[in-house]
Each structure stands twice: as C-alpha cells, then as structure tokens.
Amino acid sequence: MTAADGAPPQAPAYLALGDSYTIGEGVEPAGRWPVQLAAALRGHGIVLADPRIIATTGWTTDELEAGIAAAHAQSPVAGDHALVSLLVGVNNQYRGRPLDEFRAQFAALLQRAIGYAAGQPGRVLVLAIPDWGVTPFAVAQSRDPALVAAQIDAFNAVCREEAMRAGAHWIDIAPASRERGAEAAMLVDDGLHPSAAMYALWTALALPAARAALGGGR
C-alpha cells in the first residue's frame, strides 16, 4: 500500500470476506463496496488501507471457509485487522442448502472473522444477504419473488442472530436491495449482480457502524 493508493503506508488493515457481493462481480475494483467503504472512512479522516478481499463468485459458507484456508496458505492472514466484514449466504439459499447447516457454518466463519479482528467483535461488520428475487435475472428464471424473499429473510435472521450473539455490528442492506434492486442502474449487465451505484447505497448504510468500529463515532 502506498500513499498513491489512497492510504499511507502501514495504514490499519481491513479484511473483507464473502462471495460475489464482496468481490463485486461485474464492477471495477473501485466500485466494490468494501473499497468504497474504505475510501468513505478516509473521507471522514479515519486512516484505513484498502481491503484485502477473500471472496469468489458462487461461494457458499463452506467454500468461503476453504477459500480463507487457501488464501492463508499462500499469504498468511494476520489477526490484527482494524476492520473485518462478512457477507455470505446467498449461494447457500440459491442451492437449497439447509438452514441449520448454514447457521453452524456461518457462526464458525463469524468467529474466524472476530479472530482476524484481534478478538474484538466490535471491529466486525456483518452485512445482510440482498434479495436477488427482485432482479431481472430472477424474472427470467421464473422465480417466485415471494418465496425467494421468505428464504432470504430466514437466512438473514440467522445472520442477524449470530451477529448480535457475538457482539458484531449488523447492517441490514436487504431493504435497499428490494427497493432498488430491479432498476437497471443498480445492476451490472447480467441483470443479477449489483452495480457500483447499489454498492454505494450499501456503503452509506455500513459507514456509521464502520466509523463506530474504528472509534470515529457514528
């Protein structure tokens, strides 16, 4: 990290864990919401490096766990990050994986995230799974939006419960995804994944919790 990258050398580290929504499928790197969040925090005078992102489109919770292990083997993941974010679960829902399995795996991932945040759950952000059932992709697949919404709500209830139990920050971006997720400007060309404009909405929702996590107030 150099000053030209937007943060000074040795800036506090940020680790972002997830799936397509964290890697920003279809958007430029600067448009990814974790990158936007780091930039927004710097705009508020909070020094933070751009995130190290461990995420791949299509990952379920167990695949994220394996991906973290593989990333650690290649380049060890430190345990003293100033901020860690976790957003995963949509592919569990999409593939019809059991909710009880998801809870166990998500809780384990959350504990891993807390470990990467020096054992401080107040440095961890948990974001809700967006509702992809409103997108043109879902319409083209003849998906029942009410059913998708109900399933997403069930998965998000688990995420929220585990975040609250652990003492992490919960950021509910699902309503924004439902309200704006069918708009062309809020999607990339595949009609499914969010655009940088949608990620900007998520960034705005996450910013107060991130500032609080980093001691910058709300």
**Six token digits for residue 80:** 């003293």
Number of helices followed by number of strands (H, E) in the chain: 9, 5
**Which uninterrupted H or E stretch holds 78?**
none
Structure tokens at 180: 């704006």
Q: From CA 152, how far away is CA 77, in angstroms rounded?
A: 30
Question: In the chain, which ranges are continuous DSSP H helix?
Answer: 20-23, 33-43, 61-74, 90-94, 99-116, 136-140, 145-166, 174-180, 196-213
- The two three-digit tokens of residue 26, written as one number: 């279809």
Q: What is the mean pLDDT of residues 166-181?
A: 98
In the chain, pLDDT over 90 holds for what percent of residues? 94
Residue 65 sits at φ, ψ, to 5 deg, of -55, -45
Look at the pTM and tell me if it is higher than 0.85: yes
Q: What's the topology of domain 3-211?
A: Rossmann fold (3.40.50)
Question: In whole angstroms, what is the distance from residue 37 CA to residue 41 CA?
Answer: 6
Lowest mean pLDDT among 2-16, 54-68, 95-109: 2-16
Q: Is the pLDDT of residue 217 over 50?
A: yes
Q: Could you tell me the two tokens for 25? A: 């499928």
Across the range 33-41, mean pLDDT stands at 98
What per-residue string of b and e applies to 59-83 under the rule 16 or more CB within 10 Å gives b? Answer: bbbbbbbebbeebeeeeebeeebbb
8 pLDDT band, cuts 50/70/90, is low
Place of tokens 């996450």: 206
What pLDDT is attached to residue 1? 28
- For position 48, what pLDDT does the model report? 97
Judge whether residue 182 has pLDDT over 50.
Answer: yes
pLDDT of 2 above 50:
no
pLDDT at 3 over 70: no
Query: Which of 153, 137, 126 shows the shortest CA–CA distance to 194?
Result: 137
Mean pLDDT of the chain: 95
Tens-digit pLDDT profile for residues 118-156: 999 999 999 999 999 999 999 999 999 999 999 999 999
88: tokens are 């995963």
Q: What pLDDT is recorded for position 10?
A: 79
Cα gap 129→43, rounded to integer Å:
26
> Domain ranges in the chain?
3-211
